[in-house]
Amino acid sequence: SLCAGGVPSLSYRELKDLKKANVLHIDVRERWEIDKFGKIPASVNIPLGELVEALQMDPAEFKVQYNQKMPAKSDPVVFSCLAGTRSKQALGFATSLGFS
């Protein structure tokens, strides 16, 4: 399971299926973790410490910074990290910013 702490979690297979449906997958690990453990295919890396600012960016700025279309507040987004704690925090941040 990709998320701990009693929030909605996904199996690897569920995530693969969701990615086919254009779900934005945000990996909130630090950049050094991506370098050490590898990038998850078709994910965008936005470290947790940048996430709140990133989700409030101008969409054009987001596209330049992360090479990805900025999600609308109603778009499906999946967060992942190494153990599930930061992805749970990321979900809370996104929800507090109005993402459904």
Percent of the chain with pLDDT over 90: 60
> Would you say residue 3 lies in a domain?
no
> Would you say residue 59 lies in a domain?
yes
Separation CA 41–CA 70 (nearest Å):
18
> Would you say residue 13 lies in a domain?
no
Burial class (CB in 10 A: 0-12, 13-18, 19+), 9: middle
Please work out, in degrees rounded to the nearest 5, the angle formed at the alpha carbon of residue 2 by the alpha carbons of 74 and 14: 65
Report residue 8's pLDDT band, with 50, 70 and 90 as the boundaries: low
> Would you say residue 4 lies in a domain?
no
- Hey, which bits of 1-100 come out as E strands? 24-27, 44-45, 77-80
In the predicted model, what is the mean pLDDT of residues 61-87? 92
CB atoms within 10 A of CB 28: 25
> Would you say residue 31 lies in a domain?
yes
Q: Which residues are catalytic?
A: 81
The count of domains in the chain is: 1
Which residues constitute the domain of residue 25? 18-97
Task: Assign residue 90 the CATH number of its domain.
Answer: 3.40.250.10
> Would you say residue 1 lies in a domain?
no
